[in-house]
């Protein structure tokens, strides 16, 4: 990403003299994509939806963990007075529930990461379209990402983040 961004900037800057473009014709903007995602209405709604899914998964995991803990306590308290078959059945039940809990935990982590990636990807796709439309309409030569590491300095007046957030909110 950083190499592509630097290549675009270099092409614009190197190609500008060849096309006899003056410095006045070059218009540069910067955007903080993370801030745009976090502060836009769509980003806030996605966070709420993600939090709801997270809470649901946590409730399910807590319920399963309670069951596992209850079996563990039962084993600890009654194992010495139980018949061998009963103890073995209880131990097997405990081990099975513990494995199910571990799998559910791992699955939930993967599911959350996938959902987060999907929501972020979809929002970024929409946000990119808004940025492109804004850039074309505003006569920008290039709009660069602030937080990507390739931008070492950008004057505050070229930051278009607030305008992009406003336009993105209107679009949705």
pLDDT, tens digit (0-9, with 9 covering 90-100), for 101-146: 999 999 999 999 999 999 999 999 999 999 999 999 999 999 999 9
Q: Given CA atoms 102, 104, 110, 113 in this order, what sign does their dihedral have?
A: negative
pLDDT in tens, 15-63: 444 445 566 789 999 999 999 999 999 999 999 999 999 999 999 999 9
pLDDT at site 25? 83
6 or 39: which leads in pLDDT: 39
pLDDT tens digits for range 83-97: 889 889 999 999 999
Rounded CA separation 147/145 (Å):
6
**DSSP per-residue codes, 6-40:** HHHHHHHHHHHHHTT--GGG--EEEE-HHHHHHHS
Q: Is pLDDT of 66 > 70?
A: yes
Instruction: Tell me the domain boundaries of the chain.
Output: 2-171
* Nearest to 164, CA basis, from 131, 119, 132, 139: 131
The pLDDT of residue 2 is 46
């Amino acid at each position: 990403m950083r190499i592509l961004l630097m290549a675009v900037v270099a092409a614009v800057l190197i190609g500008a003299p060849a096309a006899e473009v003056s410095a006045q014709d070059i218009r540069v903007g910067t955007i903080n994509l993370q801030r745009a995602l976090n502060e836009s209405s769509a980003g806030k709604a996605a966070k709420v939806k993600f939090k709801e899914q997270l809470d649901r998964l946590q409730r399910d995991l807590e319920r399963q963990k309670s069951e596992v803990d209850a079996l563990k306590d039962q084993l600890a308290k009654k194992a010495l007075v139980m018949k061998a078959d009963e103890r073995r059945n209880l131990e097997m039940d405990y081990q099975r529930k513990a494995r199910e809990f571990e799998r559910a935990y791992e699955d939930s982590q993967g599911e959350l990461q996938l959902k987060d990636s999907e929501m972020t990807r979809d929002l970024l796709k929409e946000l990119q379209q808004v940025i492109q439309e804004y850039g074309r309409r505003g006569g920008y030569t290039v709009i660069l990402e602030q937080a990507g590491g390739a931008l070492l300095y950008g004057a505050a007046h070229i930051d278009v983040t607030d305008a992009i957030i406003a336009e993105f909110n209107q679009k949705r």
